[in-house]
Amino acid sequence: MRRRSFLSAAGQGLAAGTAVLAAPAIAVEPSVRWRLVSSFPKNLDTIYGTAELFARQVAAMSEGRFQISVHAAGEITPPFGVVDAVQQGAVECAQTAAYYYFGKDETFALGCAIPFGLNSRQTTAWMYHGNGLRLMREFYRNYNIINFPAGNTGAQMGGWFRKEIKSAADMKGLKMRIGGFGGRIIERIGAVPQNLPAGDIYAALEKGTIDAAEFVGPYDDLKLGFNRIAPHYYYPSFWEGGAQLDFYINTKAWDALPRAFQAMVETAAAQAHVDMQADYDAKNPAALKELYANGTKLHPFPRDLMNLAFKTSMDYYEELSAKNPAWKKVYSDYNTFRRDQNLWFRFAEMGFDEFMQAQKL
């Protein structure tokens, strides 16, 4: 910026020095129109709502010259088809969770959440002020994508179980609906991961086709009604300590944007990013209380399960590093960042939170 100097005291008088010389006169017609396809349904208001916020702010800032229409999962593309759609230029923009695409390349998972990864704030720190965004964008270039972090769920719950899990051994043969990359780990400790769309989970759990199901956290889970058919609610989701959502933008569409519109995308995405975490944090407590009042039993995962899953994860990441160079490049940076973050967070953050959570408030 700069050009800072003009102003001295020009135009005193007006709202305290504010100089509105002319109302910006802009053509009313939109000059850029984009479509944004979401991997999520409208009733997931915490996530879907931030895509709408993003579009609304871009339209407001551009005085309608830059319009983004938002489309729910299935309206234009299937939920997990959005990456292909953006890559091929069929749409300009998508809202999704990177880890859905680990089947294309495991490196996608690092853009969202991996088991025993960074928590929400740490993920944002890695993206914005570590090497995260730079490294992920380098990777996404292979898919004609430039990404913008656009929300985080925070640490999720570990999900709903029909029977208690008393030790790691109880995971053997357990059929569990689990989203994203976590399936790779619970598979290695003997469970049977299943990836079902949100709308099919309830019926599968009710019929006993699956024994357990995780989704997000109290607010979203309560809506889906899992508490009515599985009494045991475990925490934490060790596979989603802070799952990031993203806007994916086709690189040609991005390059064609005027610089001002690019800046609007960047700031509106940042607002969506911080807004979603705040929304989840504000809404989860009431849902948790409602679940508890209705008989849900809260349990921490058994420590031996956590320990086994941790070791399994670290071994698996080493394996991946040996065979996937893209993973290796991004993960080695992520790994160092994670070590440093956990070193620091144990002092002021943990000291404060641990004390506050022990108080009667």
Stretch that binds a second copy, among 58-66, 95-103, 170-178, 204-212 (CB under 8 A): 58-66
* Spatial contact of 164 and 223, defined as CB atoms under 8 Å apart: no
How many Cα neighbours within 13 Å face the side chain of 84?
8
8/322 with CB nearer a second copy: 8
Least distance (Å) from a second copy to the CB of residue 222? 13
Report how far residue 323's alpha carbon sits from residue 321's, in angstroms, rounded to the nearest whole number: 6
Determine the distance from the C-alpha atom of residue 133 to the mean position of all C-alpha atoms in its chain, rounded to a whole number: 14
Determine the distance from the C-alpha atom of residue 103 to the mean position of all C-alpha atoms in its chain, rounded to a whole number: 18
* Spatial contact of 244 and 113, defined as CB atoms under 8 Å apart: yes
* Spatial contact of 256 and 144, defined as CB atoms under 8 Å apart: no
339 binds a second copy (CB under 8 A): yes
Least distance (Å) from a second copy to the CB of residue 343? 6
Joined tokens for residue 276: 């979603």
Site for a second copy in 250-269 (CB under 8 A): 250, 252-253, 255-260, 263-264, 266-268
Report how far residue 215's alpha carbon sits from residue 231's, in angstroms, rounded to the nearest whole number: 15
Stretch that binds a second copy, among 96-104, 121-129, 135-143, 199-207 (CB under 8 A): 121-129
DSSP annotation of 72 reads -
Site for a second copy in 157-176 (CB under 8 A): 157-158
Least distance (Å) from a second copy to the CB of residue 241? 4
Q: Which of 243, 288, 308, 330 touches a second copy by CB under 8 A?
A: 288
116 binds a second copy (CB under 8 A): yes
121/206 with CB nearer a second copy: 121
Break the chain down into helix, strand, coil percent, rounded to 5.
Answer: 50, 15, 35
> What is the total count of residues that contact a second copy (CB under 8 A)?
133
Q: Which of 172, 195, 282, 319 touches a second copy by CB under 8 A?
A: 282
Site for a second copy in 300-329 (CB under 8 A): 300-301, 306, 310
Among 279, 189, 291, 300, CA closest to 237: 300
In terms of DSSP bridges, do strands 66-71 and 32-38 run parallel, antiparallel, or are they unpaired?
parallel
Site for a second copy in 74-113 (CB under 8 A): 88-92
Q: Which of 41, 75, 78, 121 touches a second copy by CB under 8 A?
A: 121
